[in-house]
């Protein structure tokens, strides 16, 4: 990733100390760059969490529904169908997911 000079906008080597175009110190540009990288891009990123507010057993179905933009009821029906179809397998999957996926913060 090139380092863009804050003064003239020239692209420099990532580890360059001074701008090859205007000679400006690139420390500032690097800090700016780092800030940008640190910025949580995850704000819009969806996170799979178990719902606290809308839970029947563990909140997993509600969390999954939210994650996949689905109706909670539809997600629950899918789980119920899966239980009927695969029995204990899906029960184990459900329990593992419920254990692994964190609960959404209060």
Binding residues for Zn ion, rule: CB under 5 A, are: 5, 7-8, 10, 19, 21-22, 24
DSSP 76: H
Tokens representing 58?
Answer: 């563990």
* Residue 25: CB minimum distance to Zn ion, A: 9
Least distance from Zn ion to the Cβ atom of residue 38, Å: 23
Residue 72 CA, distance from chain mean position = 21
Nearer to Zn ion, 18 or 68 (CB): 18
For Zn ion, which is the closer residue by CB, 6 or 51? Answer: 6
Q: Which of 17, 30, 19 is nearest to 7 (CA)?
A: 19
Number of H helices, E strands in the chain: 4, 2
Non-local (6+) Cβ contacts of 91 within 8 A are: 83
Considering the complex, state which of residue 8 and residue 70 has its C-beta at the smaller distance from Zn ion: 8
Nearer to Zn ion, 3 or 62 (CB): 3
Q: How far is the CB of 5 from Zn ion (least distance, A)?
A: 3
- The distance of closest approach from Cβ of residue 34 to Zn ion in the complex, given in angstroms and rounded to an integer, is 18
């Amino acid at each position: 990733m090139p380092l863009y000079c804050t003064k003239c906008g020239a692209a420099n080597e990532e580890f360059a100390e001074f701008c090859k175009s205007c000679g400006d110190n690139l420390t500032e540009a690097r800090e700016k760059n780092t800030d940008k990288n640190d910025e949580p891009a995850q704000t819009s990123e969806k996170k799979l969490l178990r719902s606290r507010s809308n839970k029947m057993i563990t909140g997993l179905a509600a969390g999954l529904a939210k994650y996949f933009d689905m109706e909670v009821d539809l997600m629950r029906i899918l789980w119920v169908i899966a239980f009927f179809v695969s029995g204990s397998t899906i029960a184990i999957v459900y329990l593992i997911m419920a254990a692994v996926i964190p609960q959404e913060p209060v």
